[in-house]
Structure 1
């Protein structure tokens, strides 16, 4: 959901301005935004459940061509405006939009019309934002629409727009230009190894390049401690981009291999490193406990942020944010509640919530916690070895004036970072 729309919705409900809700000078503003998003998500879930939406169907991989989820539109957008936009491509069967006004579900009467709408409106500018569309899962609805849920777009209005709606043969056959966008990551992801990055290229720049491609999950740039500046890091000139499926990863490689980013020609290939994606269904299947591991945590997030965010759902027993030997964050954390029920509530309410722009990925920590500790120890030893090697190389360079360093190949990088 559009984070700005979420804040506008909460502020409107409380009868205050958005600036009053979020104080930019307050260090807890990011936590407030996350809690506001969790509150809106809870209201949205209840609204959809009351209207015959089976939320468990989102765990299914199979998609329904007639159902479209509409996201990222500005706050204040009405259901009539959304209906007018989509009715240009065919007859609508049902329209749902919660009072929060942050997401909508559109159901067409026939699949070809829905495919045409999806193809033409995906990533289309709408007011001050860009529309994000996702095909809904199979068996999303448990009943037929009621009178209030039936789309009622005037026939004359539909006819006025019908001239603009052109359905291609590909759309009728289901070969739309955009692949299905499934928000929750279904199982392990597939990583693409990105080599020859400019040392100045940031994670944001790499993400912006790959984000428009279907199946994009997350991008990372591998870094190491800066020996000259304590607490800072240096890019290692390579990274990984994760996709939902191997096919989508191959599409990314064929599309962007050789692309020039920040003056460097990128070299892409499939990595042996398995991605870290975790779906809601895999969370439910794992054993429950009072301890949660939070992944994809922003490096800027502090222990205080987690105390405030998770403390809203129960009494916390411990909060740990593991760090590297240079005190920089590792990107994950452990939160333990006094009661398992409190952990379940936090998992339920914070699923899909963003903190400092990153979507939190959570699962119950049992064996994972132990494995993570082993991983911490392994990575600590590896980084210390890298720093020692770098210092030795610098000493030799100063003494001899020339040194040849053997470049690691992609297999070594995969083995080091998987």
Structure 2
């Protein structure tokens, strides 16, 4: 019972703190997701990926895998109309309708992400790279975006807590046209 109270208090603190500007590396990918993605990509068991026997250590293998996944993610985001330059400026103003969604389980689908966020309002664009660990969700109305953010920050999705952050202004290179509802 004491543990539950401490956990709830900790989650409330995290939710309050997440309203601050920049909290996490935008393209951070957890080691568990890296192992899952590498295992699938190279058709190897997770144990084989984590086996440190051989020329390289586990840390080196994971670092190389993460670098490859981050590069693929960057290319996908740019091809989907995301301006990566928007993330490089510190103290930039934040959007009130676009949310970065991080710490997703590997291979989360854009449809799953859309279903999760659309409970709180009408969505514009949903961009989720193939690795499925970091996405961008656009609401059409700021009040609905706040509601979605407040209700979903640090909530459990599958087996991981969602890390949300307001995206920088102008994260999309163009305005929402109304024709495109989702980018897969």
The bucket for the TM-score relative to the shorter chain is 0.7 to 0.9
Matches of 1:148 and 1:6, distance apart in 2: 34
SS of residue paired to 1:5: helix
CA-CA distance at 1:49 after TM superposition? 0.7
Unaligned runs of 5+ in 2: 1-28
Decide which of 41, 44, 54 is 2:83's aligned counterpart.
Answer: 54
Q: Which has the larger radius of gyration?
A: 1
Contact residue 120 and residue 145 of structure 2 kept, 8 A: yes
Which of 112, 135, 145 matches 1:104? Answer: 135
Change (3 A) 1:20 1:147: farther
Instruction: Please tell me whether residue 5 in structure 1 is matched to residue 36 in structure 2.
Output: no
CA RMSD of aligned residues (A): 2.1
The answer on whether the counterparts of 1:9 and 1:101 sit within 8 Å (CA) in structure 2 is: no
Question: Which structure is higher in RCO with an 8 Å CA cutoff and minimum separation 6?
Answer: 2
Which of 136, 146, 164 pairs up with 1:133?
164
For residues 28-74 of structure 1, the C-alpha deviation after alignment (integer angstroms, 9 at most, x for no partner) is: 10111111111100000000111111101112321101011111121
Measured in 2, the distance between the counterparts of 1:75 and 1:148 equals 28
> Which residue pairs with 2:115 in the alignment?
84
Q: Distance in 2 between matches of 1:148 and 1:130?
A: 32
Cα pair 1:71 1:103 within 8 Å, conserved: yes
- 2:20 — aligned with what? none
Query: Structure 2 length normalisation: TM-score?
Result: 0.75
- What TM-score do the two structures reach when normalised by structure 1? 0.34
Other-structure match for 2:146: 115
| The structure with more helix, counted as a fraction of residues | 2
Change (3 A) 1:25 1:128: farther
The Cα shift of 1:13 comes to 1.7
1-structure distance, mates of 2:36, 2:75: 19
Q: Does 1:35 align with 2:79?
A: no
Check the 8 A contact 1:2/1:73 in 2, yes or no. Answer: no
Distance 1:105 1:149 in 2: 14
Contact 1:67 1:135 in 2 (8 A): yes
Q: What is the alpha-carbon distance in structure 2 between the residues aligned to residue 52 and residue 9 of structure 1?
A: 24
Number of residue pairs matched by the alignment: 152
* Structure 1 residue 11 displacement after superposition: 2.1
Please say if residues 123 and 131 of structure 1, whose CA atoms lie closer than 8 Å, have aligned partners that are also in contact.
yes
TM-superposed deviation, 1:149: 5.1
Residue aligned with 1:53, SS: coil
Say if 2:154 and 2:163, in contact at 8 Å, map to a contact too.
yes
Structure 1: stretches of 5+ with no match in the other structure: 153-418
Relative to 1, partners in 2 of residues 1:50 and 1:145: Cα closer, same or farther, differing over 3 Å? farther
C-alpha deviation, 1:145, in angstroms: 5.3
Q: Which runs of 4+ in 1 moved over 4 A?
A: 24-27, 144-149
SS of the residue corresponding to residue 46 of structure 1 reads helix
- Structure 1 position 76, deviation (Å): 3.0
Over 3 Å counting, the alpha-carbon distance change for 1:22 and 1:148 in structure 2 is farther
Contact map agreement 2:107 2:130 (CA 8 A) in 1: no
